[in-house]
Structure 1
């Protein structure tokens, strides 16, 4: 097997499997610590959209070269990220008593490790894509492969989580994932980066000059309108939409009394949809206009949100559709529809990036997305408070979802910020 695919596949598989302990976290917060929906919402934002609040603190400007460790620029950082995750989850599992503050600290540390690993893997994908004569199809194929690896792991993780959540304690589930992350650490440590066949960079400059060069490179890349506008639009399309995932989790489990297996199946269905999207994009849509895809996806998200209004009003139930069926299919898909947008955007940015700036731009994108997720989470808490939603009163949830859907459509007003890359390619060929 291609060593690049092996490293990336394992990396994204482990990251996709993070949903396994995170499902246990949600139930642990609700049942074990008896937290309110707003607090669960904020902590749940730590896992949303494959990003983390502390990712902006990761030295994104250095991600392109990853200051070499033992003459390797990528894999040591994947290993460090895996080790941090292992330490975090194992610590949560073995500590005799744990407070909310301690739990939050280890969750943040785990996400720091996940962020470092993800940025390093994104840089590997971007650099590998540049080695094939800037072929958009090759870059898209590798990007799709990574998504398929993560999605397949997400399906397994959510399915197992829904099954074992009533059979195993959350601490046992945390320990299992911690050991999996530890195995990834040992696998990466035993792997030689030279087998990835990345070009050797001939430079005798000091680390300080290397850092200055990276700052110069990322500044140059972000001055390109098609790059900073694309990132700005994507960030706004997430950040200005208040998310109500924590509130919906309470509504489904407390108000509707749905079993944990239904929640697990919902997430499995969502991951299956993500896997199907990865395959469909690679086979059918990688030559489609990114602007068109993002427009359709944003509208689809708004449509699904409006469908949730009918759900909370009980209209679907009156029509004979069980709540469990709706949650399994539609709620699962809605949760991952936001992630659908990331795949075509990453492929677009990989094509737009100047040579040598791929990793830094990808890290900046993930940082911007992480900050957007934070903002979206706080807006969701504020919206829930505004419409009067609490753990015992969900009468205003329908109004909140309508407001949420309206804000989802606003970014379409400046969708023109996404460049029509395909037209540019055609002009160059002519």
Structure 2
């Protein structure tokens, strides 16, 4: 029986570890803003090359199930989550600091790509361990009468908000720093922050987190078998399939829009930073609103509503590029700050209700592997989406100087985004949805 004092301490330690982890995860937009401008202005890449590098550097994210199985089955010094967080933070710190020095002395495409891959490898290891701890805690009944985080999604909302706060600060300071400092300084500063995360993580013992324990070293093959068994369940397989396809089917035009805003519209980097801050603030607000008002609504309904909202904003982008809003007197920078900032993060709104659903469906004992597989599928979907976006930009004839085909590309993008709504029945009704119907 866990005492109230012991549980209170474990909750504090979990919130400290996960809060810092997700905050730093959200803060990753800070150095990545520097990466975008370094590739565009320092290495003079075109929009398609920029988008290819952005998406190819996410390839380590696809191997998340491997990291999840390792953290589920291989204990380090009697711990199977915290050491992986520390390892991932250290790998990221090394990669960003090395990139800072490499970029200063004249970096090649190969070295930049390598360090970005290494950084995302470390980030993916941290994310897998953190997601597994969230999933494990969400299944854990609390001895406190007032604590219902396992059923309400409170912990998911907490880490979501921590990530959003990191995103707000990262984009705010990123927009300011890119005008005053070099991208290399931004890379170095983020590397130092990761060093602090590494040191703080070393001070936290996993035993103080009160996580459910499974037998250590249960074996890689056994964990792999349990993952396959979990994926054979229709409600899990159908959910992951729909969710990943709902991203993969959308041809992303992020690189093209970045060039359109900076080259054609001459939007200043500070405005782009404010736009991203607005988006992250919207994510933070979404976490609060979800936790207070939306957590009892069916995940299927929420995810479908977000998908439809994405379609609406993409059609709004079409009107913007066609000059409709400018004709009625709406300044370009206002649209970029509000609507572009919101659309950029709206892609991720679906993840919060979906993570709550998956925490309910995930079998005990392989939370790390299953949640890692989910995030791996999403990462792969984003990569496919990015490559499709490059193909679409080429098809409609968009380049770094010619954006005449962009409106047609945006219409095709909106049509592709609408398609998954017709398959929303593949998302199963979760526990809260069924309980609501029964009542």
**Which stretches of structure 1, 4 residues or more, deviate above 6 A after TM superposition?**
none
Q: Which residue of 2 aligns with 1:172?
A: 185
Q: Does 1:24 align with 2:39?
A: no
**Whole-Å separation in 2 of the counterparts to 1:159 and 1:426:** 41
Q: Which residue of 2 aligns with 1:195?
A: 208
Q: Deviations over 1:91-150 (max 9, x none)?
A: 011222211110011001000100000010000111111112696754611011001001
Q: Does 1:323 align with 2:336?
A: no
**Whole-Å separation in 2 of the counterparts to 1:102 and 1:3:** 38
Q: Which residue of 1 aligns with 2:6?
A: none
Q: Does 1:342 align with 2:355?
A: no
Q: Which residue of 1 aligns with 2:242?
A: 233
Q: Deviations over 1:58-101 (max 9, x none)?
A: 41451551510111100000011101110011001122221111
The Cα of 1:44 is off from its aligned counterpart by 2.7
Q: Which residue of 1 aligns with 2:199?
A: 186
State which of 80, 83, 87 in structure 1 corresponds to 2:87: 80
Q: Aligned Cα RMSD in Å?
A: 1.7
**Whole-Å separation in 2 of the counterparts to 1:355 and 1:137:** 13
**Whole-Å separation in 1 of the counterparts to 2:384 and 2:214:** 39
1:130-209 mapped onto 2 (5 Å cutoff): 130-132=139-141, 138=151, 140-202=153-215, 207=217
Q: Does 1:5 align with 2:15?
A: yes
Q: Which residue of 2 aligns with 1:56?
A: 62
State which of 372, 386, 389 in structure 2 corresponds to 1:363: 372
**Whole-Å separation in 2 of the counterparts to 1:28 and 1:199:** 44
Q: Which residue of 2 aligns with 1:265?
A: 274
* Contact kept? 2:137, 2:150, Cα under 8 Å: no
- Consecutive unaligned residues of structure 1, counting only runs of 5 or more, are none
* Contact kept? 2:72, 2:366, Cα under 8 Å: no
**Whole-Å separation in 1 of the counterparts to 2:378 and 2:70:** 16
Between 1:174-183 and 1:214-223, the stretch displaced more is 214-223
If the length of structure 2 is used for normalisation, what is the TM-score? Answer: 0.93
Q: Which residue of 1 aligns with 2:51?
A: 41
State which of 298, 310, 313 in structure 1 corresponds to 2:319: 310
- Consecutive unaligned residues of structure 2, counting only runs of 5 or more, are 1-10
**Whole-Å separation in 2 of the counterparts to 1:57 and 1:116:** 9
Q: Which residue of 2 aligns with 1:419?
A: 428
Q: Does 1:127 align with 2:136?
A: yes
Q: Deviations over 1:157-213 (max 9, x none)?
A: 10111112110011011000000001101111121111001233346xxx4x52122
Q: Which residue of 2 aligns with 1:410?
A: 419
**Whole-Å separation in 2 of the counterparts to 1:423 and 1:332:** 31
How many residues in Structure 1 have an aligned counterpart in Structure 2?
Answer: 421
SS across alignment from 1:182: helix
* Contact kept? 1:12, 1:147, Cα under 8 Å: yes
**Whole-Å separation in 2 of the counterparts to 1:131 and 1:361:** 17
* Contact kept? 1:126, 1:139, Cα under 8 Å: no
* Contact kept? 1:63, 1:119, Cα under 8 Å: no
Q: Which residue of 1 aligns with 2:255?
A: 246
* Contact kept? 2:296, 2:433, Cα under 8 Å: no
If the length of structure 1 is used for normalisation, what is the TM-score? Answer: 0.95
**Whole-Å separation in 2 of the counterparts to 1:199 and 1:294:** 30
